Structure 1
Amino acid sequence: MEHFFTCPYCWEQISMILDPSEEESEYIEDCEVCCRPVELSFRFSDDILVSFEARRMEGI
């Protein structure tokens, strides 16, 4: 599933593919525009995205 979010550093719109088979996930991925690390967390319920958050890394 393609999901769009705004980078918390450069405010650019970013697209990423989320796998609904992973009900909950949390990881760090670099922004494809500004290359800064973004902490991502999301949760699916019955293949529906119910929460998504993109946060700045603390201290960076």
Structure 2
Amino acid sequence: MLETITIDCPYCGERYATQVDLSAGSQSYVEDCAVCCRPIEIAVRVDEDGELLGVDLRTDRD
């Protein structure tokens, strides 16, 4: 189940929409910013019912 979320790039500060796959449960992955193309580590927290609990963003410097 895909859900569209809006995130703020930790590098350039621009806001953009992206999709997360809630059916995969909690996960971490790297996605390039749609604006500045720098790599963002995205950690998605999903509960046992498949509901989005939160999203954490990190740079490669964190």
Q: Same fold (TM over 0.5)?
A: yes
Q: TM-score, normalised by structure 1?
A: 0.88
User: What count of residue pairs does the alignment treat as equivalent?
Assistant: 59
Partner residue of 2:31?
29
Partner residue of 2:15?
13
Q: Give the superposition deviation at 1:22.
A: 1.1
Instruction: Report the aligned-residue RMSD.
Output: 1.3
Structure 1: gaps (5+ residues): none
| Secondary structure of 1:21 counterpart | helix
1:32-52 C-alpha deviation (Å, 9 max, x unpaired): 100111111001111211121
| Secondary structure of 1:33 counterpart | coil
Structure 2: gaps (5+ residues): none
Greater fraction helix:
2
Percent identical among aligned pairs is 36
